[in-house]
Amino acid sequence: MRRISLLLASAVLALCAGPLHAQFITNGTLDSDASGWSLGGGCGDEAWDGANGNPPGSIRLNACGEPDSDPAASQTITGLTVGASYTIQVDVRLFANSSGGGTGRSFGVFLNNEPANPLLLTEFLDGNWHTVRVNFTATSTSATIIFAGELDARTPGGPGITTDVAYFIDNISVTQNVAAGVIPTLSDQSLLLLGVVLAASAALLLRKHRVLRRAPRP
C-alpha cells in the first residue's frame, strides 16, 4: 500500500511540474532544417545553415546591409496566457561584420513587428556563441517572435546608421515563467491521466483488500 501511495504521489508531482517546462517554439534546435520558421527581409541569404550551429544546424541572418530591410527569422506561437510572463532564449554568433565595426545594436529580438517593437538590442563581434534571454508579457493568446540582424536607423532605440553585421541563431525556446509559490493548473489531459492513476490505485487497493479477507486465518 505504501508503494502504491508513493507511485501516486510521484505521478501527481509529475503532472503538476509538466506545465513549468512547456515549450512553445516549433523546431527550435534547427538540427535538420528551418521548418516552422519564416525567413526573409533581406537580399536572399536568410537561410538554414547545416554546417554551422551549436551544434551544427542554425539559421543564418545575412543580407546586403539594405537601409530599408533586415534579414529576419520569425515564428508565431499560440497557447499563451494573457498577462503571463515568458522567456525567449536564443544562442547567437557572429557570421560576418561587413560594416567594418559595430554599433552595439546590430542584433535584435522583436515581438509581433520588426523593426517597431524591439525587446532587446545587442551585438556580438567576437565569433563565440552567446546565449541571450529576454522576457515579455503576453497581451494575446498568440505572438510572433522575430530575430533580426543588420539593424539600422529604422529600429526604435537602435543604431543611428545602417549596419551590415550578420548572425547565426540556434537553440531557440519560449517558456512560461511561473512565480514562486504558484501552483500551475492542470491541463485537461493531465486531469484525465490523474483520474486514470487514481482509479487504477483504487482498484489495486480493493483487490488487495478482497484477497486479504479471503485468506484463511491462522
- CA dihedral for 184, 190, 191, 196, sign (positive or negative): negative
CB-based contacts of 92, cutoff 8 Å, min separation 6: 107, 124, 129, 130, 131, 132, 167, 168, 169
* Mean pLDDT, rounded, for 143-156: 97
The count of other CB atoms within 10 Å of the CB of residue 175 is: 15
- Rounded CA-CA distance 120/34 in Å is 23
Rounded CA-CA distance 85/131 in Å is 19
**Beta-carbon contacts of residue 76 (< 8 Å; ≥ 6 apart):** 142, 143, 144, 145
Determine the average pLDDT of the residues in 182-199.
53
Q: Amino acid identity of 113?
A: N
Work out the number of other CB atoms within 10 angstroms of the CB of residue 93: 18
More confident residue, 101 or 212: 101
pLDDT value, residue 6: 47
Report, as an integer, the average pLDDT of 158-168: 94
Handedness of CA 201, 206, 209, 210 (dihedral sign): negative
Specify the pLDDT at position 18: 47
Q: Does the pLDDT value for residue 10 go beyond 80?
A: no
Q: What is the mean pLDDT of residues 123-136?
A: 97
Q: How far is CA 130 from the centre of its chain?
A: 16
If you average pLDDT over residues 161-187, what whole number do you get? 83
pLDDT: which is higher, 17 or 212: 212
Over residues 174-192, the mean pLDDT reads 65
User: Measured between alpha carbons, how far is 100 from 113 in angstroms, rounded to an integer?
Assistant: 28
| pLDDT score recorded for residue 42 | 87
pTM of the model: 0.77
DSSP-derived secondary structure for 73-135: EEEEEE---TT-EEEEEEEEEEEEETTSS--S-SEEEEESSTTT-EEEEE---SSS-EEEEEE
What's the pLDDT at 17? 47
In the chain, where the domains are located = 23-177
pLDDT surpassing 80 at residue 4: no
Percent of the residues in the chain that have a pLDDT greater than 70, as a whole number: 72
**CA–CA separation, 16 vs 80, rounded Å?**
18
Whether 217 shows a pLDDT value over 90: the answer reads no
* Res. 67: pLDDT tops 80: yes
For domain 23-177, the question of CATH label 2.60.40.10 is answered with no
Helices (H), the chain: 2-17, 188-214
**Mean pLDDT, residues 116-139:** 97
